[in-house]
Amino acid sequence: MIENMDNNLQEQDPMAQKLSDLKEESLKQEKQVKEKIPVIKCRIKFAKYGVMKFIGHLDIMRFFQKVFRRSGIDIAYTEGFSPHQVMSFASPLAVGVCSNGEYLDVSLYSATTSQDMIDRMNAQSVEGIRILSFQQLPEKAEKAMSAVAAASYTVAFREDVKVRIPDLSKVVCDFYAQDSIIIEKQGKKTVSQLDLKEHIHELYEKDGSVYMLIDTGSVTHIKPMVIMEQLLTFAGITEKPEELFTVTREDTYLKQDDQLYPMNAFCTDFT
């Protein structure tokens, strides 16, 4: 009650004592963070499928924060009033797209084994998000977000549409065999030209679908549908690619010495 507040102010009641202890404790901890408690950098690979494809990137981040808390993984926090986990996702996935190769970097204070951490996370996950690997990142590795260089995709015909490309294998082959695949890019003021061919590392037909490995990330970001649009024009089909295909990201890649490697290529298991 308000009437008591003056008493409260004067008396050093046990609660106030406790509170100031806590405050000291937290100051101490903040200092520790500033002095940098050593953390272990990790990279997690996961798949996103089923109904989870409707959950947007930011909400997937929130989802992971809660999975870490529930699974009791010893994840590192920032300092301050609302401590939060530091996470870096490789490449945001558009709503509606499934993936077999998503990556996420986190820092831990301590780790158990890879398998244990994978199991613990999967036990706290939902249908549609599955942890595939949980590994240690080399000390000098670039953060997932900035390391991304390319991604591979499978573009499949939707089951509910009838349009198919006859002799798909050959069409894709001929399309990719062109000297250049020029598209116009609308900039802020000017229109520039871009040769898609330079950004396609692999492109072929596979089991009735189109498989591609293309540049992704901060330098050049090519969307699979942009390639499909050109392919459809090449094949003389007028429908929009969004109406015909579904996209699955198969894996995400980083570049080292001009070579592409899966994002977890240089990671090691916790044993």
Which of 111, 119, 122, 128 lies at the binding interface for another protein (CB under 8 A)?
128
C-alpha–C-alpha distance, residues 98 and 35, integer Å: 41
C-alpha–C-alpha distance, residues 225 and 101, integer Å: 18
End-to-end CA distance of the chain: 57
C-alpha–C-alpha distance, residues 194 and 180, integer Å: 9
- E strand or H helix at 101: strand 98-108
List beta partners, residue 132: none
Q: Does residue number 32 form part of the binding site for another protein (CB under 8 A)? A: no
Q: 109 — phi, psi (to 5°)? A: -80, -35
> Total binding residues for another protein by CB under 8 A?
44
Q: Pattern of binders to another protein over 43-82, x per CB under 8 A?
A: -------xxx-xxx--x--xx-xxxxxx------x--xxx
Question: Which residues between 78 and 107 bind another protein (CB under 8 A)?
Answer: 80-84, 95-96
Least Å from the CB of residue 266 to another protein: 30
For residue 239, give Cα distances in angstroms to 101, 206, 268.
Answer: 29, 22, 45
Pick the piece of the chain touching another protein (CB under 8 A) from 122-130, 177-185, 227-235, 263-271: 122-130
Q: Does residue number 195 form part of the binding site for another protein (CB under 8 A)? A: no
Which of 40, 74, 111, 124 lies at the binding interface for another protein (CB under 8 A)?
124
Question: Which residues between 211 and 270 bind another protein (CB under 8 A)?
Answer: none
Q: Which of 177, 235, 233 is nearest to 204 (CA)?
A: 177
Contact residues for another protein, defined by CB under 8 A = 1-2, 4-6, 8-9, 13, 15-16, 18-19, 22-23, 25-26, 50-52, 54-56, 59, 62-63, 65-70, 77, 80-84, 95-96, 124-128
